[in-house]
Amino acid sequence: MRSRKGPRISTGLHRLAYLSKYGPDSIPPGGQVHHRCGNRECCHRDHLEVLSAADHSKLTNSERGRSLREAARSHWRATGCKAAELSRKFGVHSETGRRWIHRWKADPDAA
């Protein structure tokens, strides 16, 4: 079997779906296709939009962070655990766990 030379080029199916609807020049250099629906496996062309790499990173990180905080809050409410346990369980810095708990105690309705 012959090995391939050069870098491996991989294009996500969602990117191909976007290109098929809007054309080959619809994604500028450095542009990234974002899933408006939040489902990274979705290829519905109406759920996709092009963002700059910086905007895409900000948006996806905030979405992932929100779901992590919500899961951590549910766990904290159910167990009453301390910040160290919360931090270990959810893979965040101990100061982040302390800050979350402090915020949740100060405003029980805050997410």
Q: Where are the domains of the chain?
A: 10-51, 68-111
Answer whether residue 1 shows pLDDT above 80.
Answer: no
- Residue 88's alpha-carbon distances to 65, 69, 80, 93, 111, in angstroms, are 16, 13, 14, 8, 20
**CA–CA separation, 7 and 93 (whole Å):** 36
**CA–CA separation, 104 and 82 (whole Å):** 13
Entry pTM: 0.55
Average pLDDT over residues 88-107: 92
Please write the tens of the pLDDT for every residue from 33-68: 998 887 778 889 999 999 999 999 888 888 878 888
In this predicted structure, what is the pLDDT of residue 31?
93
Burial of 59: CB neighbours in 10 Å, binned 0-12, 13-18, 19+: middle
Beta strands in 1-111 (DSSP E): 32-35, 48-51
Q: What residues form DSSP beta bridges with 32?
A: 51
